[in-house]
Structure 1
Amino acid sequence: MSPPPSLSSVASSLLASQGLQLQSLKVFQSLWAGYGQICHVTASPNSSLNSSAETSRSASTTNSNVSTPQEVQSFILKLITPPPTKSNDEGHLRKILSYQVEQYFYSELAPRLPSSIPVANCHSSINQHHTDGTSTTAMMLNDLRQRYPVAGEKRAQLTQPQVHAALDWLSGFHGSWWPQVKGMDRRSFVRPPLDEANLDSKDGRGKGVWLNGGYTYLATRRREYDALASDPDSEWNKPLTEPLEDTLSLSEIVADVLAPRAWGWSPTEEYQTLIHGDVKSENLFTSVSGEEVAFYDFQYVGLGLGVCDLAKLFTCSVPLGLLVTSSGTGFGQELAMQSGEKALLKRYIVRLKEVSRKEYDWSVFVKHWETALVDWLRFQASWGFWGNTEWLEARVRWILKDKTWREEVVGGWKAGQRSMEV
């Protein structure tokens, strides 16, 4: 197996395509399982190119408005050099595909976003596949910290201004893509990792974002789900994994309701958009005031309902005091939607409809929101809890006992299945 290229050689090559030369490079983060590095890079205009340009300008009698910035510029280099692809290793395949999805997003989709939804610009990139089964993927991105210097930090709770800014960014992102996704060719979207790996070469591999955004959906978490189904000591074993009337379990029905499809009927298709897929404090920067935010890390961007992004944000990064008036066991074992939670959701949906210019009835939105909470709890119960655990579990206990929710979600799904069989 050939050694991976050096960081400096990759950085220099990507910068050269922009007429820049490397000044400094510092690694500040390693990727999962040693698959690569993220580096801070500084660069300046290539002096040899500038000299030639100056000579040309001196010899020319034509005035020009073109100028070359002389200041040192700041970039982020993301270099991925994973080991060879391992067949049937779902986690490995997921990561490999996720970096390709991220590169596609930055190169092809991010430029289509309005300036009101800030993301990093990808100035140059490479995606090389080698004969020994290894690959080299790299992106030179502008440094968001120049404008948004405050990092969200790992598993940190955001301040109220940061929460509001995150909701405004997400509603703008989801709202911008919502009217556009129907025009996208879903056949080219990236399938679940094992499905993607088993595609015949004549069918081609997906090139785009994930068909199902995020990394926690049930189709790729069967191992964890099976562990929950075989754990009688878990409170969530029976409610989430027992078959309903000799059919699928509640978790499987909920997953099917939320899942986007390449073709065929889906009960939530009308409301699907592109979602970030990994919304948490660790994946954002904010302004000093906290009133502006920019998300990054688009490895799991894909189709889905916007509320699926919100479910993770509310559980993992929103202070409990913004969701409920009492904390801990003070709000009981079962919890209906409280005023704080409702206010945050209202802020989101109002802007979502303004940006998308589409309608989203509040009752339908709440049904989708509560369905997303059930699905998110299924993942946490099978993988491990963190964040506002007591709030999430109390909300889902209440949701599962709500006859209206069951009739609309489970009953609606069954009716849809029957109509497809006719």
Structure 2
Amino acid sequence: MPAAPSPSEVASALLTEKGLQLRSLKVLQSLWAGYGYICHINASPETSPNSSGRTSRSASTVNSNISTPQETQSFILKLITPPPPKANDEGHTRKILSYQVEQYFYTHLAPQLPSWLPVAQCLAGINEHHPDGTSTTAMILTDLRQQFPIAGEKRDVLNSTQVNAALDWLSGFHGYWWPRVKDMDRRALVRQPLEDVKHEGEYHSKKTVWLNGGYTYLATRRKEKEGPFSISEMVATVLEPKEGGLGRMEEYQTLIPGDVKSENLFTTASGEQVAFYDFQYTGIGLGVCDLAKLFTCSVPLEMLVEDEYVPLELSMQEGEMRLLERYWKRLKEVSGKKYDWNVFLRHWETALVDWSRFQASWGFWGNTEWLEARVRLTLKDAAWKEDLRRNLEFSDVEGS
């Protein structure tokens, strides 16, 4: 098996295509299970042989508006060089597919976003698959830290200004894609990991984004599906986007980043603007599924409850409602679509139940007392259960 290319080799080759040369490279972190690296690189325009030290840059660099001549430019390299695929290894397969999904997002979808929805831009990339089953996937992305210098902390909370900025970014992202997601060809979307590979026959078939956005949904975690048909499976069935584009949730589905948390964003110094990154699990879903993770993992508890003591069962508090209203109003404004408040709240409660199921299986973190208390009360709500059953019956009919 040939040795995987080094980050410096990949960075140099990609930069050369854009009339740039590598000046320095620093590994920031390793990827999951040693599948690759995230690196910070500095580059500058290549020196022309006949320019006596003056610099030149290619048309592609000029058109990118990244910088001016003679400047050292800052980029991020994401390099994935995983081991060969393993038969029936769901976790491995999910990761391999997720990196291809992310590359599709940055090369095809990110350029469509309006300027008021900042994300990194992809300068160059490769996606090569080798006869021995290994692959090399890489992207050179603009460095968000140039404009958004404050990084979200690991498993930490944002301050109130940053929370509101994150909600505005998410409502803008969800609102922008909501009227557009119906035009996506669902036959080209990535299915559940093992089903997708079996259907396509190989990992390197052209990938777009996930049919079911996020990585926590029950169908992609088969080890959790044991015993009789449970409330978790009912919730998962109702939330699951259908390949045929049918289902009661269909009219509310949009494109979701799928892994929304403070660790995956940068903010301005004031905290009034944010930019998210990490789009490996981008796909179709309800926007509230992104919110469920954000509220649990990154929103200060005092913004959700009135008292530090959280009872065993908890109804929605004023702080939680204010945050939801902010998101809901801007979502409708950006999308130009209607979303009844009571329907929105039902969706929100259902997303919390689904997220709680994932945490119960994989470990609780964040505002766990708040999440569990909210879910306990929801599960005792007869009206919520009846609404879930109606939606489940509708899903069964449409899926038959």
TM-score by length of 1: 0.89
Question: Following TM superposition, by how much is the alpha carbon of 1:31 offset from its aligned partner in structure 2, in angstroms?
Answer: 0.4
Aligned match for 2:326, one of 335, 341, 347: 347
- Work out which of the two has the higher radius of gyration on C-alpha atoms and give 1 or 2: 1
Q: What SS does structure 2 have at the residue aligned with 1:137?
A: strand
Verify the 8 A CA contact 2:80 2:136 in the aligned structure 1.
yes
CA distance in 1, matches of 2:197, 2:394: 33
Residue in 2 aligned with 1:372?
Answer: 351
In 2, Cα distance between equivalents of 1:311 and 1:49? 56
- 2:336 is equivalent to residue 357 of structure 1: yes
Q: CA deviation at 1:415?
A: 4.8
Distance 1:50 1:28, change over 3 A: farther
Of the three residues 261, 268, 275, the one matched with 2:256 is: 275
**2:362 corresponds to which residue?**
383
Contact 1:45 1:68 in 2 (8 A): no
The aligned counterpart of 1:250 is 231
Asked whether the equivalents of residues 247 and 398 of structure 2 are also in contact (C-alpha less than 8 Å), the reply is no
Corresponding position: 1:21 with 2:21: yes
For residue 307 of structure 2, the aligned residue among 326, 339, 356 is: 326
Amino acid at match of 1:125: G
Quick check: 8-17 or 297-306, which moved more?
8-17
Distance change (3 Å), C-alpha of 1:420 and 1:79: closer
Name the counterpart of 1:235: none
Q: How many residues align?
A: 390
Shift of 1:9: 1.3
CA contact (8 A) 1:196 1:206 kept: no
User: What residue is the counterpart of 1:142 in the other structure?
Assistant: 142
**Partner residue in 2 for 1:40:** 40
SS of the equivalent of 2:237 reads helix
Asked if the contact 1:119–1:295 (Cα under 8 Å) also holds between the matched residues in 2, the reply is: yes
Q: Separation in 2 of the partners of 1:40 and 1:302?
A: 27
Q: Is the 8 A contact 1:45 1:70 kept in 2?
A: yes
SS in structure 1 of the partner of residue 390 of structure 2: helix
* Consecutive aligned runs of 4 or more in structure 1 exceeding 2 Å deviation: 49-56, 200-206, 414-421
- Alpha-carbon offset, residue 55 of structure 1: 11
| Aligned equivalent of 1:119 | 119
Partner of 1:398: 377
Paired position in structure 1 for 2:72: 72
Structure 2 CA distance for partners of 1:203 and 1:110, relative to 1, 3 Å: closer
State the alpha-carbon separation in 2 of the partners of residues 419 and 47 from structure 1: 62
AA partner of residue 273 (structure 2):
E
Letter in structure 2 aligned against 1:387: G
CA deviation vs aligned residue, 1:70-125 (integer Å, no higher than 9, x gap): 11100000000000011100000011000000000000000000011100000000
Question: Match for 1:294: what amino acid?
Answer: A
SS class of match (1:48):
coil
After TM superposition, give the deviation of residue 54 of structure 1 in Å. 7.5
Displacement of 1:392 in angstroms is: 0.4
Partner of 1:131: 131
Answer whether contact 1:189 1:206 (CA < 8 A) is retained.
no
Q: Which amino acid aligns with 2:389?
A: V
SS in structure 2 of the partner of residue 21 of structure 1: strand
| Aligned counterparts of 2:288 and 2:49: Cα–Cα separation in 1 | 49
Distance 1:35 1:338, change over 3 A: same
Please show how residues 215-294 of structure 1 align to structure 2 within 5 Å: 215-226=215-226, 243=228, 248-263=229-244, 265-294=246-275
Stretches of structure 2 lacking an aligned partner (at least 5 in a row): 57-66
Pair 1:88–1:40, CA change in 2 (3 A): same
Whole-angstrom distance in 2 between the partners of 1:372 and 1:131: 42
SS of residue matched to 1:331: coil
Equivalent positions of 1:175-254 (< 5 A) are: 175-201=175-201, 205=205, 207-226=207-226, 243=228, 248-254=229-235
Which residue of structure 1 aligns with residue 154 of structure 2? 154
Q: 1:169 to 1:114 in 2, by over 3 A?
A: same
The residue type paired with residue 252 of structure 2 is Y
